[in-house]
Amino acid sequence: MKRKSHIITIAGAGSARVPALLGNLIEYKDRFPVSKIIMYDIDNERMGQMEAYDRLVLKCYYPEAEIVFTTDAETAYSKTDFIFCQMRVGKGEMRSNDEKIPLKYGLVGQETCGPGGFSYGMRSLQGMKEMVEKVRSYSKETWILNYTNPAAIVALGLDRMFPEDKRILNLCDQPYSLLKSYAKILEVDQEELVPKYFGLNHFGWFTDLKDKAGNDLFEKLRTYLRDHDFQPFNAEQRAKSWLDTYVRVNKYMKFFDEYIPTTYMQYYMFADEIVEESDPEYTRADEAKDGREKEVFETCKSAEGKTTMEGIEMLTNSVFGKLMVEVAESIAYDLNNPFVVMVKNNGLITNFPAEAIVEVDGTIGKDGAKGNYVGEIKPFYKGLMEGQYAYELLTVEAFMEKSYTKALQALTLNRTVISPVKAKMVLDDLMSVSKDFWVLEK
């Protein structure tokens, strides 16, 4: 039976990830058919660099789907079923500041963790607040699938600002990506894996892993990670800085091998050595611009003036795009498929604040995400999570109240900073370049 088709909006269509997302929509066209794709971005020039490719690939492989490019919010949001949102407020220039300014003070320079994550979070909160208000002025029913980072801060902030809105779903592809890597190590299909997981976004642990038949795979995986360097499933495509990120999972497990951490835990556990290895003049913002973005733009440029895809690579994404489409599919047809989800705690972790947005294994269906019960967590993990949650909460409150004091408290609590002296220096420096996006009152 043919499934009902949908209208979707891609908000942030100037992202270099979008051409590959279209490839995933083509790949999943029978599972999640769409009749119209609205490409929306406030930066028409950047979006335009990919328009020829976007139009050509859909004409060749998805002619039944209408495509619209727009910079008009009403066109983008007034008549759509799903919004795939992955905005980067401030674009690459502000990402570069987020990564380089902390390094000046011997602090981790990373876009979602530490001071960079704080700064990015402040911009994203403002951008997402405006977006949700705009979308809801047209429709209460549209699903907002939010991929905007830092997901933990954005998810908590949206819950505080729009507590009754049940059609905002915050997403992160990192657990999905890790499971893909585990599947390759274990030589099984990713769809066969049944994980147990808890934490906060970019700050959590896999605690168990079975296949659908109930066979335990966790001990085999844990043993492998003790004896072999951890590599992502697509290691041959990754820059050295990304490969180092995975190997530090091995290092973490030399100290604490009970659970398997997310790769982002490295920034909180080994901050000093990461700073030592970082180049304050060339960070991942530069890597992305000179690597993945350049390749995507060159591929898209090759489509200009063409009427067929002959000789042009069809871009797809094995993690980001697949997750986005699979989540929409699970909502649209009430499949209640398993995912690692971000949800309000409400007793899932019994000894953790009920109002916190936690990340746990769960399911997604027509009513959104539901997390599976975790129970009581041990003091070590509880202590780590409480400190991180306090940082996230104070960041959200600093944004909502324009409070310099709470921003300073947030950064001082962050495990990558700790020193109030450094927290103040980096906060003041970040503020000085962020006046167009956020302002705090002392």
Known catalytic residues are 173, 264
Nearest to 99 by CA among 47, 146, 149: 149
130: left (phi over 0), alpha (psi -120 to 50) or beta: alpha
How far is 141 from 174, CA to CA, in rounded Å? 28
* Alpha helices (H) along 139-263: 151-161, 174-186, 218-227, 240-255
How far is 4 from 38, CA to CA, in rounded Å? 18
Residue stretches of the annotated binding site: 95, 149, 172, 202, 284
Residue stretches of the annotated binding site for substrate: 95, 149, 284
Q: How far is CA 289 from the centre of its chain?
A: 18
State the DSSP string of 48-88. Answer: HHHHHHHHHHHHHH-TTSEEEEES-HHHHHSS-SEEEE---
Strands 82-85 and 143-146: parallel
Angstrom distances, CA of residue 168 to CA of 42, 49, 62, 135, 205: 21, 30, 28, 11, 24
Q: Is the dihedral of CA 416, 421, 424, 425 positive or negative?
A: negative
Residue with tokens 């008549």: 79
How far is 73 from 134, CA to CA, in rounded Å? 8
Residue stretches of the annotated binding site for Mn(2+): 172, 202
Residue 173 · residue 320 · CB < 8 Å: yes
Nearest to 325 by CA among 68, 82, 2: 82
How far is 424 from 422, CA to CA, in rounded Å? 5
